[in-house]
A and B are shown apart, each in its own frame.
Chain A
Amino acid sequence: NAGVTQTPKFQVLKTGQSMTLQCAQDMNHNSMYWYRQDPGMGLRLIYYSASEGTTDKGEVPNGYNVSRLNKREFSLRLESAAPSQTSVYFCASSEDAGSFYGYTFGSGTRLTVV
């Protein structure tokens, strides 16, 4: 009964380094999302994938890329990390993209860029 699994849980990067945050869900959900959480800012949508094979930009996509590898997996890549990308990143999934069902969230990845 894993739900949404994110790896890694913690990461420290140097400015300019790249990395990929991994997310996998085992609920056979069609839609997946990446949010970032910053103090006082709530959760802001980075990218989402309404269904396998599609991705769309959210509110704060700059500096990120995503890949919907298959129905289960949705990865977030930082090509050249910047201190402004220090944040907690949450992956979520839902049965469908019409927002009807609410989301299941992973436990987050805490990323620090120095």
Chain B
Amino acid sequence: AQSVTQPDIHITVSEGASLELRCNYSYGATPYLFWYVQSPGQGLQLLLKYFSGDTLVQGIKGFEAEFKRSQSSFNQMKPSVHWSDAAEYFCAVGANQAGTALIFGKGTTLSVSS
């Protein structure tokens, strides 16, 4: 069974600084990997996804993520954080198998200081 770990519960970054959100997964084959964002009181919005091919994927809102098979990681980056990026971020892993569902990490809360 697949699983996902987000090592950082809470991160604070200054506005304009770079950001990296960490995600480690466990799955025997090549997984499907996702990053979602949740603003307070809202549902989850898909930021980006990885299935295969290029290991660096681009998403919405200026986010990108890099898949590293050797490290079982799918870390998300943004070169310059804006105050509106403050939210909770979830990494999710899916099996390349019909009839399965995404497994989510416990989330990382991002605070942006001015």
Contact = CB atoms under 8 A, between A and B. Distances in A.
A41 interface: yes
A97 interface: yes
A50 B49 contact: no
A97 B100 contact: yes
A48 B96 CA distance: 17
Contacts of A33: 101-102
A41 B6 CA distance: 11
Given A43-B90, A50-B99, A105-B44, A100 B104 contact: no
Interface size range on A against B = 20 to 34
A50 B98 contact: yes
Contacts of B100: 97-99
A97 B106 contact: no
B32 A107 contact: no
A2 to B, nearest CB: 13
A97 B101 contact: yes
Given A98-B96, A106-B43, A40 B9 contact: yes
Nearest to A104: B46
Interface in A1-40: 4, 33, 35, 40
Given A97-B100, A102-B49, A107 B107 contact: no
A74 interface: no
Given A41-B106, A50-B98, A100 B32 contact: yes
5 contacts: A90-B43, A98-B97, A99-B94, A100-B51, A108-B42
Given A42-B105, A43-B44, 18 more contacts: A33-B102, A35-B104, A42-B104, A45-B101, A45-B102, A45-B103, A48-B101, A90-B43, A92-B44, A97-B101, A99-B32, A99-B94, A99-B95, A99-B97, A100-B32, A102-B102, A103-B102, A105-B45
Interface of A: 4, 33, 35, 40-45, 48, 50, 56, 58, 90, 92, 96-100, 102-108
